[in-house]
Each structure stands twice: as structure tokens, then as C-alpha cells.
Structure 1
Amino acid sequence: MKSSDYVQSLEKGLNILRVFDREHPRLTLSEVAELTGLTRASARRFLLTFAHLNYMDFDGKYFSLNSKILDLGYNYLSTLSLPEVAAPVMKNLSQEVNESCSISVLEGTDIQYIAREQTSRIMTITLGIGTRLPAHITSMGRILLASLPPEELSARLAKFEYGSLTEHTIHTREALEAELHKVKRQGWCLVDQELESGLRSIAAPIRGKELRVIAAMNISAHASRVTRNRLIEIHLPQLLRAAAAISDALQKQ
């Protein structure tokens, strides 16, 4: 790039935005100048401009970013598909919980995986993009089924082959309907060793426009490593935050 085409002042402004992070959520003018290497006068002009444009809050001493700064990222996210929007969130979630996580959509009587972040193999079958599993015995499937209108749900329930894959599997339509009612009421679903012995998973909905459930996201773990209580008390809040972040990004597209 030719030097005449390079806008150095824009670079300086972006550098100011970057110094605000988890360790530095609120900074004084002097601190910003020191962290960026700018003069106090130059840093002051940038900071006051950001505040005037409502990208920052200023209480007379401290500057801090506000939620309007997210608009810059959402403009980019609006060009992405669900798997692309979800990818960085899934990666962070998987690293945070040290377990695998996935996203799927409903296809007939199955769920189909459209995104996956895997830490270790915990099932006898290989899961990947495009893999299909019976919806009624998976945590993501039950989230998606519970979101359907009553008539559509009834039609799908009539098509399932009810049986026991493990001793824990819900194997009657009546029991499944009761479980789906519970899932819809609480907004999340835990499936404990129903699909495969030793496998636990917990799922939450991903919502698109008009808050319609368009996909589900889960965390899966081996029962010998993660208890039911840990899934619910520790991992569920993390999962709900991640699903909400993806939903929020999609709704702004």
C-alpha cells in the first residue's frame, strides 16, 4: 500500500478502542495515552469524538466502551450464516467447559449437525457436519421438538420408532410428550444416557428472527467425568449465555 493511501489517524483511533478490554474496562485520559503511545492532546480528541458518537461513556474522569460499539461487529456478522456466526462462540464455549459442543437443526424425525467443536471422542459413532440422529432421544432434538406448534409436533411424534437404546431411554410417546412439555417450560433439556450409555448432554435453543427457535446447541460429556449436577449448575449457565450470544447476533442480521 502506498503511504498516501494509508490513513494513520484511523489506525490511532482503532488502537484506542483495542486498549479497552477485560483488564481495562474503564480508563482515564492519561492511561489511554500511556497505553497507546499517543500524546494526551491526541488521545483526548479521539476519546471525546468516540463519546460524542455514543461509542463510549465518559463520567468526567473515566472513559469506557458501551454497547453501541457492538454495532460495528454486528454489521460483519449480518453477512454470515449460522455456522459462521456460531463458530467463535462455540470455540470459546468448548474451551471454557473443556467439553465438545454442537449445533443442529430439525430434519424430519432427525436432527442434523451443522456445526461442531470437538475436544475428545465420547461416543462409539463418529459425529460430524451432516450427521443425523433420532430427534426424540437427543437433547438438541427435544429442544427443537418442544418449539413446534402442537399440530406439527403431533404429526412428528406419530412418525418416531419408540424403543430403548439403553435402560434410560424414554420409550413411549406419552412419556416423551411429558418430557417435551417440561423442556418447553424450563427452556433447556438434559438427556442422561438415553442415546448411548455413558453419554450426557444438555441443550438450549438458538433463536432467529421474531425469536423463533431455528436450531439447538448442546454440550456433551462422558458420565464418568461430568455429573448431572455439574451439567446443570455449572455448564448450563455457560451454555445459555453462548446460545443467547448467537441468537442476538442472528436477530441483528
Structure 2
Amino acid sequence: MKNKPHYAVESVDHALRLATLLQQEGPLGVSEAAEHLRVSRSTAHRLLAMLVYRDFAEQDADRRYRAGPVLSPADATTAPVSALRRAALPHMRALVADLQETANLVILAGNHARFVVTVECDQVLRVGDRSGRTLPAHLASGGKTLLAALPRDQLAEHLPPDDMARLRRELSLVRKRGFAINDQLTETGLTAVGVAIPWPAATPTAALSIAMPSVRFSRDLLPTWVSALSETAAAIAADLL
């Protein structure tokens, strides 16, 4: 028998109950969520917004909320996440100190790019922590570099069928250049540049990216960013040996 802990945090309890409702009972509106939890509509809305931010929920076109990717069975990944995190963090911190933009470590999990760890920069206007979130791999900069590194006969398993030809051409260009750009494809006002981390004796399953407000993105600075990313990715790979 489980007893409610004496130190229970009510807002956490509400969020967990709400996530369970979405997973087990299907889509909910704000009023329905408020009724289930016996809280105000404004509180329910804030809870749902946080669940959406962390990918526990998604909002449909009709403004109802449903279970998000985190509440679905996890896609398999071959990346040793804890070893990657340990190897990458010191190098990511140095990269952020140098470039003054937020850095992300990303792995390929099925058709998604999963953010393993974020190191935020100190600028007032900056991209925040994306740890734990997932994005379609063919849209995220790091995801694109990992898809481009896959054997061509495996790509069809990871790309949406309705845009296959265009995406194959784009990934071919990413393969030649060695980097990828996400220019506001996943979030308005956000631009990211990514490179694959050279995987020891195997196809890369992790990537490194920097993300910035689009107003700071400059094609003139792209060579500098790609060079710094590539050097950092190589240093991470060396520490994984």
C-alpha cells in the first residue's frame, strides 16, 4: 500500500495526475482538466502548458490536449547516453563560453532527435534548455546530420513518405557539407546549426548543435560556427574511445 508522502508537492502531483489522464483517457480541454483536478482553469492551463513544453502533451488544432511523445513507448536508440553526457559536457561548456550561444547534445531515436543535455549561454536573449525534448529528426539540425550519415537504404524508415524526394536531396547536401541548419523549421525565431559527432567505428548516433535567436544568425559567421562545432564534436568522440 502506498501512502501520500508528507512532503508532497501539490503542483507536481497535479502535473503527474494530468499526464496520467492524458495517457489513459485521451484528449482533454482546459475546463475538463480543471474539473478533474479541482483547480481553476488558469492553473490547469499553466500545468498543460508546462506538459507541452516538456513533450508530455501536445495541443491539437481544436485546442484540446493529448498525450505527447514522452508518454508514448520510447523509440530505441543505440547511443550510450550516460557516457555521451559525461564526455560531452566539459567540451560543450567550453564551446558555449567561446561562441556565447546555447549548445545541445542530440541523439537519434527512431524518427526523432532527442535532446540529451543542454548548456545555455549567458546572453539575456538566448535559447533555453531543451533537455528531454524530442523533435522530428528531419527538421532539427542535429537530426538532419544523423539522418545524412545513415546508409541510403535505411533512410526511407526515418523520413515522412510525402516529402521523401526533397528530403533525400537535402540530406545529400548535408552529407557533402558536413553540417545542417534548422532555420525556424521547429520554432519561430530560432535557428540552429548542427554537426554529427564522429562515432568510433560506427555510424554516428549523436550530434552537437548550437541554437540561437534567428536575429543573431549570420551566414558570414557560419564557417566559424561550423569549425568550432566540428572541433568540439571530434574532441567528444576522442573522449569516447
Task: Report if TM-score (shorter chain) is over 0.5.
Answer: yes
The percentage of counterpart residues that share the same residue type is 28
Shift in Å at residue 187 of structure 1?
Answer: 1.3
Change in 2 beyond 3 A, CA 1:215/1:193: same
Moved more, 179-188 or 208-217: 208-217
Q: Which residue in the other structure is 1:249 paired with?
A: 239
**Equivalent residue runs for 1:74-223 within 5 Å:** 81-119=83-121, 122=126, 127-158=129-160, 172-223=163-214
C-alpha separation in 2, matches of 1:153 and 1:227:
30
Q: Which residue in the other structure is 1:240 paired with?
A: 230
SS of the equivalent of 1:88 reads helix
TM-score, with structure 1 as normaliser: 0.58
Deviation per CA, 1:9-64: give whole Å up to 9, x if none: xxxxxxxxxxxxxxxxxxxxxxxxxxxxxxxxxxxxxxxxxxxxxxxxxxxxxxxx
User: For this pair of structures, how many residues does the alignment match?
Assistant: 158
Is the Cα–Cα contact under 8 Å of residues 198 and 222 in structure 1 kept in the other structure?
yes
TM-score, with structure 2 as normaliser: 0.61
Q: Which structure 2 residue ranges, 5 or more long, are not aligned?
A: 1-81
Shift in Å at residue 234 of structure 1?
Answer: 1.8
Q: What RMSD, in angstroms, separates the aligned Cα atoms of the two structures?
A: 1.9
Is the Cα–Cα contact under 8 Å of residues 200 and 223 in structure 1 kept in the other structure?
yes
Q: Extract structure 1 runs of 4+ deviating beyond 6 A.
A: none
Q: Which residue in the other structure is 1:8 paired with?
A: none
C-alpha separation in 2, matches of 1:128 and 1:198:
15
Q: Which residue in the other structure is 1:51 paired with?
A: none
C-alpha separation in 2, matches of 1:127 and 1:98:
15
Q: Which residue in the other structure is 1:37 paired with?
A: none
**Letter in structure 1 aligned against 2:180:** C
Is the Cα–Cα contact under 8 Å of residues 111 and 140 in structure 1 kept in the other structure?
yes
Shift in Å at residue 192 of structure 1?
Answer: 1.6
C-alpha separation in 1, matches of 2:114 and 2:173:
23
Is the Cα–Cα contact under 8 Å of residues 104 and 113 in structure 1 kept in the other structure?
yes
SS of the equivalent of 1:207 reads coil
Change in 2 beyond 3 A, CA 1:205/1:181: same
